[in-house]
Amino acid sequence: MTTARETVLGRIRDALALAPAPDAEIPRAYRTGRTLPDAERLALLTDRLVDYKAKVHPCASDRTAEVIAEILRERGARVIGVPDGLDECWLSAYDGEVRRDSADIPAPSLDTLDGVVTASAVSCAETGTIFLDGSADQGRRALSLVPDLHVCVVDLSSVVAGVPEAVARLVPERPTTMISGPSATSDIELERVEGVHGPRNLVVVIRTDA
């Protein structure tokens, strides 16, 4: 007995076979190659992130560990998760428990962490978007989505002006997670609700000389 779904899909296949779509050129005339001075990229990214209700901490690279430890201390984070490839020096000033993540750890158990610290791949100043690509210092997607606090380290050298410039730096085959502030949505009455699809708290450490 043929189901309605099979009937519909069969008709679609028949139609596609009888009238194959002609080759079409898709215009790719995007604005590319835009640049901004370091100070302007830093100011623009900071403005966008703050507007999204993220907390931003610019610092010199030699203060990375100190700033991260201070953030975690202020947030009361005693147990944090980190990607297996995160630079250990970044946590040298932190006196809490650090758990290295792995694919063997069930995603639901990540909810027991007070927070997570990751690096980032590239950031777009114009939209205030941070891109993670699953590299060893950024980890799997679940690690940055399940814990309620995400401390993300961004090197100013990885901040670009716009979306085309950011996408050009990404490897298409890698899993990409785009972050624009803490996770938030609105109900039918436009009441903002945070933490629905990810962490309620995003803290960005921007290393201005890295």
> pLDDT tens digit string along 151-160?
999 999 999 9
Cβ neighbours of residue 17 under 8 Å, at least 6 residues apart?
none
Tell me the C-alpha distance between 111 and 109, whole Å.
Answer: 5
Tell me the C-alpha distance between 174 and 194, whole Å.
Answer: 28
Residue 1 has pLDDT above 70, yes or no: no
Q: Whole-number mean pLDDT of the chain?
A: 93
**Residue 5 CB: number of other CB atoms within 10 A?**
8
Q: What pTM was estimated for this model as a whole? A: 0.86
In DSSP terms, 152 is beta-bridged to: 118, 204
Q: Could you read off the pLDDT of 33-45 as tens digits, one per residue?
A: 999 999 999 999 9
Cα 148 versus chain centre, distance: 14
How confident is the model over 42-59, as a mean pLDDT? 97
Confidence of residue 201 (pLDDT cuts 50, 70, 90): very high
Inter-residue contact 121 to 138 (CB < 8 Å): yes
